Amino acid sequence: MTRLEDWIGKTQSRTEIINHRQAELLAVTLDKPVPENGAPLPACWHWAWFNDALPGSELGRDGHPKRGGFLPPVPLPRRMWAGGEIDFINPLSVGNEIKKVSTIEKVKHRDGQSGKLCIVTIGHQFLDGDHLCIDEKQNLVFRGDPEPDAPAPAPVTPPKGAQIEDELHPDPVMMFRYSALTFNGHRIHYDVDYARDIEGYPDLVFHAPLTATALCDLAAKLMGDKPVRHFEYRATSPLFCNAPVQLKGKEEDNVAVAWAETPAGSQAMIATAKS
């Protein structure tokens, strides 16, 4: 029998140029200024590079690569990007060649509200020559298909006392563009029949890393002239296409706390940033 823990320590690496054209396309997707060649890549934009590109025969039912290659062969069918933490050590410069080294660090099993879960933690290091630029940990959660009569998870109450607020509108065009730029084939982001009938969601699911990018940007506004050096985020509830998202934040003890709220006012993601 295959032990999922045998994948701990498995590594893969990829080298890419942070090309200006991709940065331009991401900037217009996010409605942000286009960084020039040689300029620092904004925080969390690195997710638009270094992504797996496999033929359709090597993809699973959800559009992600089949497991058992780099990722362990977790038998639970549904996958979600649940959170992570990032140390921004040196900026990635647009136009530079960067090496990404990924390592399976942890494989944990536990019981959640919706059944059995498997949490896979992946470490990512991004290097410009000999200089470490980004040190990241990414948590993927795998779980079973939804039970027809399973109760809905209890909503999470968000923090209070926001000092800054913004609104995000997850429309189909933004979601399509972001999926394309990150080469993300996960069908929950563009195939509404799959999202509803197979994974049990009411609509297309908004990208967790895109929510995290927006919260990191909001936290940076709270911090003013101080750069974001450490960023942590955790998804607590999905967000959906065409449902406006409230982004809120406040500063507590030199830590920027930012969160995303669903239209019903529950917490969808919580994040913290430090300089």
Residue-level pLDDT at 149: 74
Average pLDDT over residues 23-51: 97
- Per-residue pLDDT tens over the stretch 133-148: 999 999 999 999 888 7
Q: What are the Cα distances from residue 229, in Å, to 36, 87, 89, 121, 135?
A: 22, 6, 7, 21, 11
Residue 49: both structure tokens together: 């590079």
Strand, coil or helix: 84 = strand
Percent of the chain topping pLDDT 70: 98
- At residue 140's C-alpha, the angle toward residues 135 and 143, to 5°, is 170
Structural domains in the chain?
4-274 (3.10.129.10)
**Model confidence band, residue 1 (pLDDT cutoffs 50, 70, 90):** very low
Residue-level pLDDT at 28: 97
Average pLDDT over residues 53-80: 92
Percent of the chain topping pLDDT 90: 88
Threshold 0.85, pTM exceeds: yes
- Per-residue pLDDT tens over the stretch 69-120: 899 999 999 999 999 999 999 999 999 999 999 999 999 998 866 678 999 9
Higher local confidence (pLDDT), 2 or 176: 176
Residue 231 pLDDT > 60:
yes
CB atoms within 10 A of CB 123: 16
Residue-level pLDDT at 61: 92
Residue-level pLDDT at 216: 98
- Per-residue pLDDT tens over the stretch 164-217: 999 999 999 999 999 999 999 999 999 999 999 999 999 999 999 999 999 999
| CB distance 74 to 4 below 8 Å | yes
What amino acid occupies position 107? V
For the chain, the average pLDDT equals 94
